[in-house]
Structure 1
């Protein structure tokens, strides 16, 4: 039996193909037409019409300690009406001067009687004020005019390079400039230059925190130009002195042994033992010198690597981050009572962050401190304190969290004849937090040293 195969579909299949739904035909038509064009329509509400432009993307504004970093200015554009600038080696140093003859400010509560009393008790010596790390002339604003009345002369405060409104000089290690403007040597030179600027032969130097290093170095550079030193919360590490033996007067209680000639000359074993000990000491000395040499090489390499990092873009990012996270916190932590830190104080400390190039200048100042401390030829100030012979006053707060009170007392004990005063309920900034007590201490010291016994001299300032 032969089967006949037909290619025609069965009746049911033909019926189904002829009855294709309308939505299938629409789908095929869309596939043939391709993807839809972008158009703003109800069918495609998220599409963008042809020729339309995307709105500009808003850039994130940079801010450090609440200060906008996208609109920085030259330091002189931020100056106050009483600001002045004095150029030294191409650096324009911002400073302010107060005179005992200036008119009273609204905040000055002195009466005419007390002012006349101050004029009778003047010491007639100018005073230079040297701020600490991260501070500026602003730190002295509450005490400048009162100090001028106590002194009966001009009082000058200036911003050291990298701080305040002093111009930010471009500097790198291979520059041809005669002196690094961010170095301690430049700050010392500027201090002595400002004494000349005031037309004085000598002046009283008042340093705060790291400014004490500048004051002491200025004294060692030109002791004849410094009438007295006032060190406020001095950031000078004073190592504990060795206790001298009462009998021999030698440090560490080491006594010189007196050999018994009768026994040592006859005892051969004692001679051999002494020679062996001497050889061991000699070998130990050589090993110690080798270790110190290796240590010096490692330290030099470390300093070079650290300097290269700080001068990189990562260093700039780091200093911005540190100032943003800890700048205002550091100011509050410097006070005994942080609740009394007003917006005016915060603005005074953050204002320099508006100046162009502040982060680079701060890094160069830090680099200068590192290289100075690593210098083998530089004798630390702490080892020369006993050489100071001018009158010295050391002042500190009893609750200083930055420079401990015990360190300030140790500094005072290291300087022959130095006076030491502690201001109660006070932190790291006595001139800001306790100005009345601060002026009282300074006035009493100056009267004692320069022979102005009038007891009303301090009252003229408060």
Structure 2
């Protein structure tokens, strides 16, 4: 290094190349030692402002020597001057702030989340229902026929190709499964509208797609229905029938969407024309029984009828027996009430604990980790041949990860699904399947790895008059993998 010289500042002699000493700047010394690990720094020129007691360092005054000093440390991993420091306008040099590491989930940058409305497609539509903006798309057969007819007339062509019988004339509402969106119906929406000769509507259920995410209070109490509950999806489905200005509609559900379709039927059976259940995520009953009420036992109050004769009053043993029976009945009721109250308390405690866990920051981090690691793989695994999944399909499923609050909404949906508050007081769905009286078609792929084909077949057998169809070389998504065959099966 060059020879060290000295220069006098006021009454203080300072050696050029050494560190400033108090009262000039103690902080600079710690900066240099922590960053460069050297004791001597040669400075080309130093200026002193004695009034402010602050060093003013000209630009680039440290650059050459500091880099040389870092090199003398034998490549200790210390970065260059430009990488580690920044110079303020007043000449003061400070260490650079570390850039925040970008976080991505399934390839989607989580630092640039936007409102779902900003991700809408040109054909996207939104309708407000109970404070939730439901994203949906509509395929209108009549408008397409009118456009085609007008085009044919302009070209002087007459054709009967589009004159399909519109004897059905009933709209269809398409309900996607868990983790899916309107995108999953993209390839069959227009063909289905053409098939039924009416409108086909697909909408994003809350927590999925581009439907708005509603923040649930920490208390979990809402003035309206929980938008993430199955009850809300059922109400929204019936509301779409009203929006279509129709008395009935065909409900087409896929996977978990079949739960919404089936429950919507029991909510308003007169408004459901038919059910089409695709790869239904409904647990079929193990034993297919009959609706038989002949085994009911008449109540006779332990053999005592109301036509008691005077002999009862004259028989002391019978009186004792009646008193003991009443006492036993009272004790039994008391025990049953206590058990029910304890069960209710345990259920309430369970709900509170589960709510706290799923609404915690840890749960948010966990769901991000799961979606990042398994999200795209789950889509590929749903296909018959995972290697044939196009990139645009993966993009269609990961697009909603750009929405603000997607992870919290997914957790709220999971919480509502577990608690299942919408079906309290009702028997399980699998016990009510035998009561479905509308036409039912069950469709599945022969290699469905998520919902086995045997479960779909057993489900079809448990519904009176239901038809069962299997699409060969197809996985969990028949309407995406084999759209032509899917439409043909429905026809």
Using the size of structure 1 for normalisation, the TM-score is 0.74
Residues 1:162 and 2:203 are matched in the alignment: no
**8 Å CA contact retained: 1:115, 1:149:** no
| 1:218 corresponds to | 264
Secondary structure of the structure 2 residue equivalent to 1:120:
coil
Residues 1:82 and 2:123 are matched in the alignment: yes
| 1:234 corresponds to | 280
**8 Å CA contact retained: 2:231, 2:422:** no
- Shift of residue 241, structure 1, vs aligned partner: 1.1
Write the distance in 1 (CA, Å) between the matches of 2:403 and 2:67. Answer: 54
2:100 to 55, 59, 66: 59
> Gapped runs of 5+ residues in structure 1?
1-28, 106-110, 252-282, 444-462
* 1:161–1:112 CA distance, 2 compared to 1 (3 A): farther
- Provide Cα deviations, 1:4-46, integer angstroms capped at 9, x if missing partner: xxxxxxxxxxxxxxxxxxxxxxxxx999x99945454279613
Write the distance in 2 (CA, Å) between the matches of 1:131 and 1:176. Answer: 26
Write the distance in 2 (CA, Å) between the matches of 1:418 and 1:200. Answer: 24
| 1:177 corresponds to | 223
**8 Å CA contact retained: 2:216, 2:222:** no
* 1:433–1:288 CA distance, 2 compared to 1 (3 A): farther
- Shift of residue 176, structure 1, vs aligned partner: 3.6
Residues 1:45 and 2:76 are matched in the alignment: no
| 1:120 corresponds to | 165
The RMSD of aligned alpha carbons is: 3.5
- Shift of residue 375, structure 1, vs aligned partner: 6.6
Secondary structure of the structure 2 residue equivalent to 1:389:
coil
Write the distance in 2 (CA, Å) between the matches of 1:292 and 1:99. Answer: 52
Residues 1:208 and 2:249 are matched in the alignment: no
| 1:276 corresponds to | none
| 1:323 corresponds to | 371
Write the distance in 1 (CA, Å) between the matches of 2:66 and 2:405. Answer: 54
- Shift of residue 351, structure 1, vs aligned partner: 0.4
Secondary structure of the structure 1 residue equivalent to 2:437:
coil
1:188 to 234, 249, 262: 234
- Provide Cα deviations, 1:45-74, integer angstroms capped at 9, x if missing partner: 139799322223121101000000000110
Using the size of structure 2 for normalisation, the TM-score is 0.70
- Provide Cα deviations, 1:60-113, integer angstroms capped at 9, x if missing partner: 1010000000001100100000000000111000000001134499xxxxx996
1:389 to 437, 444, 464: 437
**8 Å CA contact retained: 2:171, 2:250:** yes
- Shift of residue 374, structure 1, vs aligned partner: 10
| 1:132 corresponds to | 177
Residues 1:147 and 2:195 are matched in the alignment: no
- Shift of residue 377, structure 1, vs aligned partner: 2.3
- Provide Cα deviations, 1:149-188, integer angstroms capped at 9, x if missing partner: 1011010000000000000111235434211111111111
* 1:114–1:130 CA distance, 2 compared to 1 (3 A): farther
Write the distance in 2 (CA, Å) between the matches of 1:99 and 1:329. Answer: 34
Moved more, 288-297 or 320-329: 288-297
> Gapped runs of 5+ residues in structure 2?
1-14, 22-28, 30-38, 43-61, 71-79, 86-90, 148-156, 297-330
Write the distance in 1 (CA, Å) between the matches of 2:423 and 2:490. Answer: 35
* 1:78–1:123 CA distance, 2 compared to 1 (3 A): same
**8 Å CA contact retained: 1:303, 1:370:** no
Residues 1:379 and 2:427 are matched in the alignment: yes
Write the distance in 1 (CA, Å) between the matches of 2:424 and 2:381. Answer: 34
**8 Å CA contact retained: 1:98, 1:144:** yes
* 1:43–1:415 CA distance, 2 compared to 1 (3 A): closer
* 1:313–1:115 CA distance, 2 compared to 1 (3 A): farther
Write the distance in 1 (CA, Å) between the matches of 2:111 and 2:421. Answer: 35
| 1:271 corresponds to | none
2:387 to 329, 333, 339: 339
- Shift of residue 115, structure 1, vs aligned partner: 3.8
Write the distance in 1 (CA, Å) between the matches of 2:445 and 2:338. Answer: 44
| 2:140 corresponds to | 99
- Provide Cα deviations, 1:384-430, integer angstroms capped at 9, x if missing partner: 11111111101111111111111111111111111111111111000
